[in-house]
Amino acid sequence: MLPLDSTAQETVSAVVDRLKGKPGALLPILHGIQDVLGYVPPAAVPIIADGLNLSRADVHGVISFYHYFRDTKPGRHTIHLCRAEACQSMNQKATEAHAKQKLGVDYHGTTANGAFTFEPVYCLGNCACSPSMMVDGELYGRVTPERFDDIVSKWEKR
């Protein structure tokens, strides 16, 4: 486990201190850390556990249970590809296969150049324009393999 640099350690401690008094504080703390750092570093687990008087195993168990939480640094951009039924009915599987091949990673992976992290999502609320994807919060509809390539090429330049 890599130690936290001083900035990350201060960030984690500040989030824990700010939120530890809330009922059910663990989830808001994990969200707060991931919102700032992009992930929950393994070295943050002891700080969180100490701040909430929980075991490290309890904290790690929550992080590993919820797929949303990452324990590795993400790429510069995060691609979410919808896997819900409406998107699947509009040939999402072809786009998924193409995306995995194009990026060279499976779901939850980060490209070798660190540009993209690829994540599944189970509904983006854009069913009328299926299949859908989101990059860093920007929603795209009617995504074909060709459109996927166009979108990714634009984000690579950012």
Specify the pLDDT at position 1: 75
Specify the pLDDT at position 63: 96
Specify the pLDDT at position 67: 82
Q: Does residue 140 register a pLDDT over 80?
A: yes
Does the pTM surpass 0.75? The reply is yes
Query: Which range (50-54, 55-59, 154-158) has the least confidence?
Result: 154-158
Average pLDDT over residues 28-36: 96
pLDDT tens-digit map of 58-117:
999 999 999 889 999 999 999 999 999 999 999 999 999 999 999 999 999 999 999 999
Which pLDDT band holds residue 35 (cuts at 50, 70, 90)?
Answer: very high
Q: Hey, what are 104's tokens?
A: 């060279």
Cα(117)–Cα(103) distance, integer angstroms: 9
Which pLDDT band holds residue 2 (cuts at 50, 70, 90)?
Answer: confident
The full set of domains in the chain, from first to last, is 6-65 (no CATH), 77-156 (3.40.30.10)
Mean pLDDT of the chain: 95
Average pLDDT over residues 12-19: 98
